[in-house]
Chain A
Amino acid sequence: MTSKSAFWQGFQAGLPFVLIVCPFGLLFGVVATEAGLELRETMAMTALVIAGASQFTALQLMAEQAPTFVVIGAALAVNMRMAMYSASMAPHIGGAPVWQRAIAAYFLVDQTYAASIQKYQDHPDMTLRIKMIYFFGVVTPICPLWYVFTYIGAVSGSTIPESFALDFAVPITFIALVAPALRSLPHIAAAFVSVVVALALSWIPFSLGLIVAAALAMVTGAEVEKWKERRS
């Protein structure tokens, strides 16, 4: 794979996410402005954090006059799953120069992670350089549009009508991302445990139940895989 084709393959893998990044960015711009943030504050948050769910959490808590440390703690808790993404990316891109790793870490959002890790796991022969280029290919159609559409939402105040049911585009996209990975019993078992525990612990605030669900699901997947290996 040449660097050029790796970039374009990544770009194509990132392209479908445009469907959700645009409306979601638009919505954040509108909601942040309506909540009383100035344009430069809205844009600074979107550019520094690039994590929709935690930005909405921060907005809501700020509007509810929660203490400052509660706002920050809760919004960061929503992002804790990204530590798992980071650990899972480390074996693939950990060898890159630190400045490249820092830039990649900044752009490590759900969509760029999911698309890249799937490619890396399917193609273990990819070199470090090609993996990096592929990652930035995925980033290119996703992250810039997040900033642009937050800006459009903040300035225009217009959002997509509710009848388009775009609220559901986010879950659908994640299902579409995970479905192809459910190709073996260990993967299916892990996904099952993740769903059941996440639902059972959904009463825990700020998605912290998800961290427990993910940890149990990882152990389940690994143990089922070991059991299968012993049997064969």
Chain B
Amino acid sequence: MIDLATPTIWFIILLLGIGTFLIRFSFIGVLGNRRLPDYVMRLLRFVPVAVMPGLVAPLIVWPQATGGEPDLPRLTAAVAALLIGAATRSLLGAIVGGMSVLYLMLYLTS
């Protein structure tokens, strides 16, 4: 239960809002139209594949819903979503396919 004075709660909310905005605005705001060195441009092209797999890997291997225990239905569903997404390049197909495999596996293993 949160047991903080109302001004403290508002202070946290405001600073969190301002800080998050500044993180998001940082490079878009400061760099503007400036041309970056070629190697930096090369690095930046890899941001999506560098951030997102690392963001989800712990959620897949140690899912919260099982209290952090690796879980066969979730691993299978993750692999299915990856394969469908790579083969079809369809976002919706990979989401629906991955969730269907998850429900099927949860049903089979329950």
Contacts and interface: CB of A to CB of B under 8 A. Distances in A.
The answer to whether A and B assemble together is yes
Interface of A: 13, 16, 19, 35-37, 41, 44-45, 48-51, 54, 58-59, 62-63, 65, 68, 71-72, 75-76, 79-91, 93-95, 98, 101-102, 104-106, 108, 110, 113-115, 117-118, 121, 162, 165, 167-183, 186-187, 190-195, 197-199, 202, 207, 210, 213-215, 217-219, 221-222, 225-226
Interface in B34-68: 34, 36, 39, 41-65
B9 A217 contact: no
A16 B22 CA distance: 28
**Interface SS, B side:** helix
B31 A68 contact: no
A181 B49 contact: yes
A227 to B, nearest CB: 12
Interface of B: 1-4, 8-21, 23-29, 31-34, 36, 39, 41-65, 74, 77-78, 81-86, 89, 91-95, 98-99, 102-103, 106
Contacts of A104: 28
Contacts of B28: 86, 89-90, 93-94, 101, 104-105, 108
A182 B53 CA distance: 11
A150 B93 CA distance: 27
Q: Which label, helix, strand, loop or mixed, suits the secondary structure of the A interface?
A: helix
Given A101-B29, A105-B21, A172-B99, A221 B44 contact: no
A106 B24 contact: yes
B82 A179 contact: yes
B95 A179 contact: no
A150 B19 CA distance: 21
A114 B89 CA distance: 14
Nearest to B105: A165
B2 A72 contact: no
A191 B34 contact: no
14 contacts: A76-B23, A83-B26, A89-B27, A93-B28, A95-B32, A104-B28, A170-B56, A176-B85, A176-B95, A177-B85, A194-B50, A207-B55, A214-B50, A221-B50
Given A121-B45, A172-B77, A58 B21 contact: no
Given A35-B1, A58-B12, A171-B59, A94 B46 contact: no
Q: Closest 3 A-B residue pairs measured CB to CB?
A: A179-B85, A48-B17, A198-B54
B55 A176 contact: no
B17 A221 contact: no
B47 A84 contact: yes
Contacts of A187: 46, 49
Contacts of B98: 172, 175-176
A175 B10 contact: no
A175 B3 contact: no
Given A91-B41, A106-B24, A170-B59, 8 more contacts: A41-B9, A87-B26, A90-B27, A101-B32, A165-B103, A176-B92, A180-B91, A215-B50
